Amino acid sequence: MLLNIRPTRRASQGRSVFSTILFFAVMSSLMAALPQVQLSADETSVDVVIYGGTSAGVAAAVQVSRLGHSVILIEPSSHIGGLTSGGLGFTDSGDKRVIGGVAREFYQRIRRHYDQPSAWVQEKSSDYPRYRPGDDAMWTFEPKVAETVFHQMLKEANVKVLMRERLNRASGVKIADGRVVSITMESGKIFSGRQFIDTTYEGDLMAAAGVKYTVGREANSVYGETLNGNQVKANLHNHRFLKNVDPWLTPGDPSSGLVAEVENAGPGEDGTGDHRVQAYCFRMCMSKAPSNRVPFPKPDQYDEKRYELLFRNFEAGDLRVPISPDMMPNGKTDTNNNCAFSTDYLGGNYLYPEASYEERESIVRDHEDYQKGLMWTLANHPRVPEVVRQHMTQWGLPADEFVDNGNWPHQLYIREARRMVSDYVVTELDCRRTRIAEDSVGLGSYNMDSHNVRRYITADGFVQNEGDVQVSPGGAYLISYKSVIPARGQVTNLSVPVCLSSSHIAYGSIRMEPVFMILGQSTATAAVQAIRANKALQDLPYAALREQLVKDGQVLDLPAGLKKQELITKASLKGLVLDDSDAKLSGTWTSSTSSAKYVGTGYLHDGDVEKGQKSLRWELTAVATGDHELRLAYSSHSNRASNVPVTVSINGSVSDLIINQKKQPSHDGLFCSLGTYNLKTDDKIVVIISNKDTDGYVVVDALQLLPSK
C-alpha cells in the first residue's frame, strides 16, 4: 500500500467544516475502539503478521483472530480497505455464487447498512435499482461505508491494527533457516511472528524476502497462452481511437515531435512479452447531488498540452464522453476509464512496481495531476465540444467522501505490480478451465481484463492504443493453493494472496477485490494450520486446509454445470485456418466471447448497426492441388442475421453466397460449408463477409480450408 497523505495542502478544498468534523469523529471513534499496539522500542511478537491493510489484509486478519491466534495488521497509509474503500464501489465480481466466507460477509454487512433508512441521504432506497432487500448481499456502495464496515469487522474480531508504518524494504526483512523471523519498519519498530502474509498491492514484503517474482507481460509462448504479451490485433474493444488522430505536434510532420502520451514506436509483433504494466487510474467517486457536489479542481500543475490527443479526438468526430460512471447509492458513482483517451494514464506507471517510496509518491502525484486535469478539462476547456461540457455540468466530487484528501480518492488503482513466480502459475489455461487445479483455495470468474498499456503509431501514421483485453473465461475457475505460497526452496512461512503467482493475463481476471478477500481468508487459514502443525506452508496437507475453509463458508468447487473445456486454437484444427485477427477489417467491429464455443480468443460481430458500412476480408493461398472445402466458423443464435452475404473469389472467379447465422453450423456446431472448390497450388483465394442489408447480428469467427477426402 502506498502512503499518499497530503491533508495540509487539500484539507480545506471543496468540503464543509461539518463534513470534516463528522469524518474525523467517526474514524477516531472506530480507531479508538481497536486494540492498539504499544509503541515502544521493544519488539512486538504475534502469531501472524499481516502487512498491507487492503481488503485482503482485513479478511486475513479477521480470519486469524477468529481462529484464536494473535495477529497484527500493519498498514502504511492512514486508511483501511485499499480499493474497496478507495472508490471501487462497483464490485467486479463475475459469478457471485463463488464468493463466500469473510468476503460474502462483507457484502452482506453492506446490504444491512443500506437496510437502514438513515443510510439514504440523497435519494430514496426505492429509487436505487441495485438495492434489493430480498438479496442476501449488496455489491455497490459508497467508499466511506466500505471503510466503516471494515473497521467494524476488525473491531469485532479484536484485531490489532497499526497505521502509517512502512516496511524497510532495503534491510527490514530478517530471514533465518528459510523462514521470515521479523520485519522492521522505517520507524525502527520490529514485528516478529511465526507466519507472515503480504497483502499489499505491490508485493513489497514478498520482494524484500527474496521470493521470485516478475513484472510486465509474458510472451504467449511462455505458458502456452493466446492473450498475453503485445495485443494489437486480438481485440477490437471500445477503449481505442475510432477516428484517425494525428500524433505529431505539427500534424503530418514527424520532425516536429510527438504530442504527449504517445510512444515513438509501431505496433510491434503480437504475443511478444515486454516490461509494460496495464494502466492505473483513480476509481473516482463523483456526485450528481447539488447539495453534495464540489466542482472539479484545476490542479496547480495543469498543462493543457497533456490533453492534445483528447482535443484532436473530439475534433476528428468522436464525441463519446470518455468516462464510465456506474451509479452508487446517494447519487454517487464509481467512475472508470472509457473510450480512447480517459482516466487511464498509459505509460505513467512502468516504474511504479519497483520504485522507492518517494518515487512512487511522485508517480501517484503525476497520476493525480493527470486525472484531475482531465476532469477539469472535460468540464471547462473551450476545445471540448459543448455537448460534452454540458454533460459534465451534472457531475462533481462528493463533499462527504475522502474529506481528509480534498474529496479525492486516497488510493491509486494499482491494477498490477509484481507477481510471484511459484511452483504453480495461474494462467489463461486455468481461467478457461482447460486446466483445473486440484488444490483450490478460492475461485475467480471475472473477465480476463487488461487495460491498455501504451499508445503507438500505426502504419498509416495515426495514434492507437494497445493492450486492452476483455475476454470472458466462460464461467468460474479454480485458484491453486500453490499459487499463493512461494515455490519450494524459498521462504516457508510467507503467503502472498494479492501478488500471487499468475501470468499477466490471468491476473487480469484474478485481480478483483472479492477474490483478494477470498484468498486473504484462505492464506490466513493456512498460516494458522501451519503454526498448529509446525509445518512449512509448502508441506501443509491440503485435505485439512480444505476442510476448514469449507467449514468457514469458502466456495472451493466449480458451480454446477461447469467442467473442464477444450480450447479451440488454429493449431488444434485441421487444414489451413485463419482467425478473425488474420482478416482485414472495414468499419468498426466488436470482439466478443459471449458464446460458449469459438476459435482462438473470441469472435467479431457488427453490433447489428451501421449496415453496409462493415466488411471483413480474408486472403489466403492454396498449398496443394485438388478439391478443397471452404468453411466459415460462427456461433448461431436467434438474434443473428439470416442473410449474411459472403463472396468467395478464386483467381478472379466469384461466387456469391448467403449464410443463415440463425442456423447452427453443421460441422462440430462451429463451421458451415462455403462450398467445395478444385484448387491448384498457389491459387489466390479471397473471402469477403459484409453486413449490407442484413437482418440481425453478423458474426465472424474463423475460416478453414480443408482438402476433400
pTM for the complete prediction? 0.85
SS3 (DSSP) at 41:
coil
27: confidence class by pLDDT, cuts 50, 70, 90:
low
CB 547 within 8 A of CB 128: no
- Give the containing element (helix H, strand E) for 190: strand 190-198
Cell digits of residue 604: 467479431
pLDDT confidence bin for 669, thresholds 50/70/90: confident
Percentage, residues of the chain above pLDDT 70: 94
**Torsion angle defined by CA atoms of residues 521, 523, 524 and 527, in that order, rounded to the nearest 10 degrees:** 160
At 438-463, the pLDDT tens digits run 999 999 999 999 999 999 999 999 99
Which residues have a Cβ under 8 Å from the Cβ of 546 and sit 6 or more positions away?
439, 440, 556
> For domain 576-707, which CATH number applies: 2.60.120.260, 3.20.20.70, 3.30.70.1150, 1.10.260.40?
2.60.120.260
DSSP label of 640 = B
Contact call for residues 614 and 690 (beta carbons, < 8 A): yes
DSSP state, residue 498:
S
Mean pLDDT of 620-625: 92
pLDDT tens digit sequence for 685-696: 999 999 999 999
pLDDT computed for residue 111 by the predictor: 97
- What is the average per-residue pLDDT within 227-235? 82
pLDDT in tens, 159-216: 999 999 999 999 999 999 999 999 999 999 999 999 999 999 999 999 999 999 999 9
Write out the E strands in 219-347.
Answer: 248-250, 253-258, 293-294, 323-327, 333-337
Find where cell 486492452 sits.
Answer: 468
**Per-position DSSP letters for 336-377, written without gaps between them:** EE-SSSSS-BTTTTTTGGG--HHHHHHHHHHHHHHHHHHHHH
- For residue 357, the model assigns a pLDDT of 98
pLDDT at 500: 98
Per-residue model confidence (pLDDT) at position 593? 74
What is the full DSSP assignment across 72-117? EEEESSS-SBTTTTTT--B---S-GGG--HHHHHHHHHHHHHHTSG
pLDDT digits (tens, 9 = 90+) for 558-572: 999 888 877 788 888
pLDDT of residue 286: 98
β-pairing verdict for 469-471 and 448-450: antiparallel
For residue 386, what pLDDT is reported? Answer: 97
Mean pLDDT (whole number) for 124-144: 96
Q: How far apart are CA 254 and CA 264, in angstroms?
A: 10
What one-letter code names the amino acid at 185? M
**In this predicted structure, which of 235-239, 293-297, 313-317, 478-482 has the lowest mean pLDDT?**
235-239
Q: Give yes or no for residue 435 having a pLDDT over 70.
A: yes
**pLDDT band for position 598 (cuts 50, 70, 90):** confident
Q: What is the pLDDT of residues 497-528, one digit of tens each?
A: 999 999 999 999 999 999 999 999 999 999 99
Position 20 scores a pLDDT of 47
Average pLDDT over residues 268-284: 96
3-class secondary structure per residue, 519-557: HHHHHHHHHHHHHHHCCCHHHCCHHHHHHHHHHCCCCCC
Helices (H), 123-242: 143-156, 204-208, 220-223
Output the pLDDT for position 700.
Answer: 95
Residues shown for the chain: 709
